Amino acid sequence: MPTDRTPETPDAGTAEDPPRSSRRLVLGSGLAAAPAILAVAPPAAAQQQPQAVPRTLEDPRQAHPRPPFPRQEQPWPGLAARMQPRPDHGEASYQGAGRLAGRRALITGGDSGIGRAAAIAYAREGADVAINHLAEEEEDAREVLELIRKAGRKAVSIPGDIREEAFCTRLVERAAGELGGLDILVNNAARQTAQKSIADITTEQFDATMKTNLYAMFWITKAAMPRMPPGSVIINTASVVAYDPPKMLLDYSMTKAAIVSFTHGLAKQAAEQGIRVNAVAPGPYWTPLQPSGGQLPDALPQFGAEAPLGRPGQPAEIAAIFVLLADARSSFTSGAVFDSTGGRPGP
């Protein structure tokens, strides 16, 4: 995760009492090396200690727009460019620190929402990024590709419908081919359609939700794993509804619960290949899923108001978690589900 704060050093000492880390360096180097070290070490008074960089605190309740929002509807799959207010994916705020330098990532649903935030963050952390999206999402996708390129990284667009197994296989092959390999896979694309009753869920809707959220994740992961070297990571986007399903999101909640179980089980298998598998479980996030059928139209103006922080999350606020899980420094983290819910309890 990016930071503009220099880590504090409570062990630092003073000019009269040199830092303990310096004393350990001298003593731990052996007596033979000590004279050389002492000869080049500046006086204690001249040694500069890291200084904490002041950072303005911000009330998380007021950090981003709060409901009520304008009433709005879009046809599936929806565009971030047409939302009011427009979501914040970190376009102007995310600052990288080289945590993913040289990495190669494939992100489904990378044109908008949480996938777009992850794509921006990954590029600014030094990764080359391929995004998958539907042809109808080209307007959003072009913006993401431009942001990746402005970060100095390679950007690859692979449009297509992940409900088709053959396309999922081609998606992985093309991403790995154009990026020169693959070591980060983010299964993020999702279908969400709110219905008041099970009687209103058609077989067509049920099938589309299952294939987008579950079948595609299975097909893409199965195709990707043989190409991923030890040290690679797989990150799946689950949801808080996996634990507390709303009555209007019956089929969607089923898939998110399955993603949690898939993550737990696959982490055990993938460990044999040196691959880590984790999931992120967002709460209410302001993405095109919501106005394109993910919420009932009358409920959308108050979307996120039920969260303890009183508002929905913006995609920029979850990007750092995707970076954390992809970072090699999280090498012992696998089989975990990270919640980001605005204060709502997880499982």
Return the pLDDT at 54. 55
User: Mean pLDDT, to the nearest integer, of 125-134?
Assistant: 98
* Extended beta strands in the chain, E state: 104-108, 128-133, 155-159, 184-187, 233-237, 276-282, 337-340
Per residue in 256-290, pLDDT tens? Answer: 999 999 999 999 999 999 999 999 999 999 999 99
Is 208 a member of any domain?
yes
pLDDT band at 52 (very low <50, low <70, confident <90, very high): low
Is 283 a member of any domain?
yes
Is 217 a member of any domain?
yes
Among 160, 167, 171, 168, CA closest to 133? 160
Return the pLDDT at 14. 37
| Residues annotated as catalytic (active site), given as ranges | 252
Return the pLDDT at 345. 81
Where in the sequence is the domain holding 299, given as residue range(s)?
100-340
With beta carbons less than 8 A apart as the criterion, state whether 75 and 99 touch.
no
Number of H helices, E strands in the chain: 9, 7
User: Mean pLDDT, to the nearest integer, of 317-342?
Assistant: 98
CA distance 279 to 238: 6
Domain count for the chain, please give it.
Answer: 1
36-50, 63-77, 198-212, 316-330: segment of lowest average pLDDT: 36-50
Return the pLDDT at 44. 44
Distances (CA, A) of 295 to 44, 81, 264, 286: 62, 18, 29, 11
User: Mean pLDDT, to the nearest integer, of 132-142?
Assistant: 97
Containing 230, the helix (H) or strand (E) segment is none
Is 8 a member of any domain?
no
Per residue in 3-18, pLDDT tens? Answer: 444 444 344 343 334 4
Is 39 a member of any domain?
no
Q: State the CATH number of the domain containing residue 295.
A: 3.40.50.720
User: Mean pLDDT, to the nearest integer, of 102-119?
Assistant: 98
